[in-house]
């Protein structure tokens, strides 16, 4: 379907561009959300007659979003979640979780503004895009950890999972070393225990 864009759409174009998209995308998203018009003769005339107002309204909204961005850009929120020893969450972090955390910190954003390509399913620090306006996007950090202490370590740049695996490996190596030391002590003790038996055999031979 050919459409006329009423606002900038990422990877499609900007206001006034005539582009071709899949019918479902147009009918289910672009048209009902007033982001585009069908590109027929009547709508082309309507768009050109109102182009000045459309561009002016867009500029005003962009300006408001730029002001708003100062209160959102660079924010970092912490979400405490239970996970396996491998760092896999029991569940996942959703857009709603992120929005609630950001708004609790005064961001004032809507769910539709958060761009999350896929749910977060592991602990770690993630960069998430927030689109305040089609032409204004900022980044926030989502710190998913198992405890406040781990969140602080991750915020400081520590790879918590890597550090945990290194600690486990060191503990396993120490245990193996201790086990090997015990076997070595037994091997050394064995000849000492057999010595008296050898002396007895020698006495019998002399007799």
Please check whether residue 65 is in contact with residue 133, taking contact to mean a CB–CB distance below 8 angstroms: yes
Please give the average per-residue pLDDT across 2-20, as a whole number: 95
* Cα separations in angstroms, 77 against 48, 105, 138, 147, 178: 44, 8, 15, 13, 44
User: What was the pLDDT predicted at 176?
Assistant: 61
User: What was the pLDDT predicted at 69?
Assistant: 96
User: What was the pLDDT predicted at 201?
Assistant: 45
What is the dotted CATH code of the domain comprising 76-158? 3.10.430.100
> Considering the chain, what is the average pLDDT of its residues?
86
Reported pTM: 0.73
Cβ neighbors of 103 (< 8 A, separation 6 or more) are: 109
pLDDT higher for 99 or 174?
A: 99
Q: Around 56, how many Cα atoms within 13 Å sit in the side-chain half-sphere?
A: 4
Residue 116: how many other CB atoms lie within 10 Å:
16
User: Residue 58 above 90 pLDDT?
Assistant: yes
Please check whether residue 109 is in contact with residue 103, taking contact to mean a CB–CB distance below 8 angstroms: yes
Distance, in Å, from the CA atom of 109 to the CA atom of 131, rounded to the nearest integer, reads: 9
User: Residue 192 above 90 pLDDT?
Assistant: no
Superfamily grouping for domain 2-69: Ribosomal protein L9, N-terminal domain (3.40.5.10)
* Cα separations in angstroms, 108 against 96, 98, 101, 111, 141: 13, 12, 10, 10, 16
76-80 and 136-145 beta bridge pairing: parallel
Q: What SS3 state is found at 81?
A: coil
Please give the average per-residue pLDDT across 157-185, as a whole number: 64
Distance, in Å, from the CA atom of 65 to the CA atom of 135, rounded to the nearest integer, reads: 9
Please check whether residue 16 is in contact with residue 8, taking contact to mean a CB–CB distance below 8 angstroms: no
User: Residue 140 above 60 pLDDT?
Assistant: yes
Angle between helices 148-155 and 160-206 (to 10 degrees): 100
User: What was the pLDDT predicted at 64?
Assistant: 97
User: What was the pLDDT predicted at 118?
Assistant: 86
User: Residue 184 above 50 pLDDT?
Assistant: no
């Amino acid at each position: 379907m050919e459409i006329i864009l009423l606002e900038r759409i990422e990877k499609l174009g900007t206001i006034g561009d005539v582009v071709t998209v899949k019918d479902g995308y147009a009918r289910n998203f672009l048209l009902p959300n007033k982001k585009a018009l069908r590109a027929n003769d009547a709508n082309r005339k309507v768009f050109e007659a109102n182009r000045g107002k459309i561009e002016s309204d867009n500029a005003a909204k962009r300006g408001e979003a730029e002001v708003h961005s100062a209160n959102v850009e660079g924010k970092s929120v912490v979400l405490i979640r239970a996970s396996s020893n491998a760092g896999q969450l029991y569940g996942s972090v959703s857009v709603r979780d992120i929005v609630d955390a950001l708004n609790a910190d005064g961001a004032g954003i809507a769910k539709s503004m958060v761009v999350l390509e896929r749910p977060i399913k592991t602990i770690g620090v993630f960069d998430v895009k927030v689109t305040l306006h089609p032409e204004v996007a900022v980044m926030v950090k989502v710190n998913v950890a198992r405890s406040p202490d781990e969140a602080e370590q991750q915020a400081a740049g520590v790879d918590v999972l890597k550090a945990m695996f290194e600690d486990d490996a060191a503990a396993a190596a120490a245990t193996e070393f201790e086990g090997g030391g015990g076997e070595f002590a037994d091997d050394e003790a064995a000849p000492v225990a057999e010595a008296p038996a050898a002396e007895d055999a020698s006495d019998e031979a002399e007799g």
